[in-house]
Structure 1
């Protein structure tokens, strides 16, 4: 039998993970496979029990809506996954037990590493969204000393998220529509600062309402990061580029988190060359 890993979710047919992992497996010439599997909520426990008994199964990536639901069924949680409160990667250990990880944090941070390695006298991120993706993003940015403003339709939920994730004092919440209206706020000299604007919501995704963000709320020199992957070039990113700002698209996080999971599954680092240009072409065909 061929060793294999897979991605689970509901729905799952749209997942790009098989294309990403399959590309790397082919490049490395590994005798292994990566698949997708539709798993409904009621089937989750049975699925994990069955797979844990399969010695050829290396583990799975977990997408919505199961990132929190899988946690009670795992033998161990990596400390970061426990802190985030969500698992997106499950690894089958040699004894058949299951360990849960969160690679979304590393995937989100990867394209920001050069900037985060610099010294700044102030770092701030404006995060739009309070869903599952926001959890990993908040934890990752807190570990790098950013002051956060979390915007959502429900400010109580946004504050609860900050409290649950141990943000402490000095962070803020805002209603989502606050950023939709123009502001006359005059930003001070931002030299030496790092400003980040993140769309961690589904707004702007195909089939979803657009993200209403007036760029008067975006400090000069900001990095604008949209985790949406369909469309890849969102109106938010288009406007940011028109404003002369650096942008990061959703494939950056998707490929980054997959790279960490790939090494956990297959025991080899994926081939990352030319800024993943060839892989990006495949994923956007």
Structure 2
């Protein structure tokens, strides 16, 4: 994730990119529950077995530091996103047809080539293409007028970021003091999706006004960002050329970020064997790999 933070100090001038375990008799054998929809472990295991059967690709993944646990979490993440995309498509009347899926696959080298380069079988490949096309359409409907304004503070540790977030959420003199130094803070920074589409896939575009978020843009660095969203518009002016220049991959990422309110509304419960749902990364991660936090708006926002 990358986002310009304007007047914030050079070291933070660019920033990159509640879940409970499933338990109880009605949830046994479940990998994740999205709202009332349960995804069985056997469904995840079947996809994992397909991936593990692709020995050459798995060898490459392992050589790059990938693990079976990470792969399983990625599969569960895709199941969550698929469910959320289905919900939004139904709500907004988005329909992706088999001919559209066929055309997309053909335009990208054909099914055989795509299967050779992926860990999917054909049904899951087609589902992924469908999901991506839905996400892109969701983004196309909003990206032209989408803009977020936030107050930003830089921190040098998770502890100081959490402390700053609590102060900003509470408001008052302690919060105001965090914005006294323009080298490490900036108020009313506006990011619009059309001119900075990579920003639009970040957590700032997925939370309501008044929310305070903390996140570490790059785990290899010590910098943390604390931000309060102070405005969100869907009717902001934009450059048509910039909108037309947004890539398909960027549209998909933005569309997936637009699922965050739905995820928050319906709730996501993850079997602890797979990890936890991280709203910052919009994926399932190991419990110690969460990269931030989300504090809801307080009264007055």
Tell me the TM-score normalized by structure 1: 0.26
- TM-score, normalised to structure 2, is 0.25
The structure in which a higher percent of residues are helix is 2
